[in-house]
Structure 1
């Protein structure tokens, strides 16, 4: 079977059973070149399922039971084949722009007709972006003038306050997850006491309370890509 013959593997993530059923039914009946390989209703199960089924495209509801699903986009993109298409019922421009900047390939409204949803999945799978003209303009402006975007994003301003050593620590925590302080200190060639001092400073600068909050923040902002 050639790549062009293989059906597009779709994973659906939405907290509403009826919408999951409807999307699955839509793909089964209207898109013979696609197959639903799994469905999830919350962030944790979505990340776990994506690792199991290796989807080509994840159709992700931006709001999962009151939780913003954008926090799991980096984890969904860990499989470099996967592309994320956000299904949105919001008109919050800032939130939708944040979705694109987090790595999603497109945004499709829940109000769009079935054929538009299918077309969006196809285009995203092919490596294209599925964005309206206004959003595309904002994305290009962010690429052209990233400093302006940073000035508008308080969380990026927080990251800019970190020292090189603190960024390195965030990088290691994002990459290592549950590594204990002793192991981190050994890798950094510093004492545990010094590491705790660094962590206290990091918590203060980023506005987080503990290691778990720091891990979530670091993963969301891809701090594992920072180098000391």
Structure 2
């Protein structure tokens, strides 16, 4: 499918191929040195779909998924944190090209069922936020920020450099996450974060 997608992009004058990758780690490396506007990910199983929210937390480009999965509910969590569209592999090449162009323009490319589920979930979250202001703050955390909190809480004695290494990120990136976390939760330091995370049972999201 990767080869077919490459050929489709090359044959469409309105599109340009910025690079290709065979997995998420390679994709991060490629995207770090390119200026792509839209990323098209070939995702055909639920475990891979579950990795998308974490991938999106570090992604600056818009993401579009190409899939053969029948049940698109596995992508709902990713849509809620920034996935811009889903195209089925049995759709025509013209549909995929149109989806890429629409996502590039900032639009969402979702079927009616997915749109309905997302609106229902957003409404549910809004209701929960009104009843619990702290939950509203916690809901602002990205998956990567939750992973950072879980790692810091699990190892309160280690310096940031060690925790960052365990999270496979640089110390600078971890400190950027902490700045964002402190701002969202109205905290000032790691001790405050430990107390808050313990009190409100902030758990690491499942991968």
Give the alignment's TM-score, normalised by structure 1. 0.58
Paired position in structure 1 for 2:105: 126
Residue from 114, 135, 139 that aligns with 2:114: 135
- Asked whether the 8 Å contact 2:40–2:64 carries over to 1, the reply is yes
1:62–1:68 CA contact under 8 A, matched in 2:
yes
- Residue of structure 2 in register with 1:22 after alignment: 4
Aligned to 1:15: none
Matching residue within 48, 55, 65 for 1:68: 48
Contact 2:24 2:55 survives alignment (8 Å) = no
Distance 2:64 2:101 in 1: 10
SS class of match (1:91)? coil
Residue in 1 that maps onto 2:16: 35
- Output one character per residue of 1:115-139: Cα deviation in whole Å (capped at 9) or x when no partner: 0000000000000000111211222
Paired residues for 1:1-228 under 5 Å: 19-29=1-11, 31-63=12-44, 67-76=47-56, 78-80=58-60, 82-146=61-125, 171=145, 174=148, 181-183=157-159, 187-189=189-191, 206=203, 214=204, 217=205
Secondary structure of the 1:40 match is coil
Distance in 2 (CA, whole Å) between partners of 1:72 and 1:52 is 20
Change (3 A) 1:180 1:58: farther
Change (3 A) 1:69 1:36: farther
1:27 CA drift (Å):
1.1
Q: What are the Cα deviations for residues 98-126 of structure 1, in whole angstroms up to 9, with x where unaligned?
A: 33123200110011000000000000000
Identify the structure with the greater strand proportion: 1
Contact 2:84 2:107 in 1 (8 A): yes
What is the CA RMSD across the aligned residues, in angstroms? 3.9
Gapped regions of structure 1 (runs ≥ 5): 1-18, 151-159, 207-213, 221-228
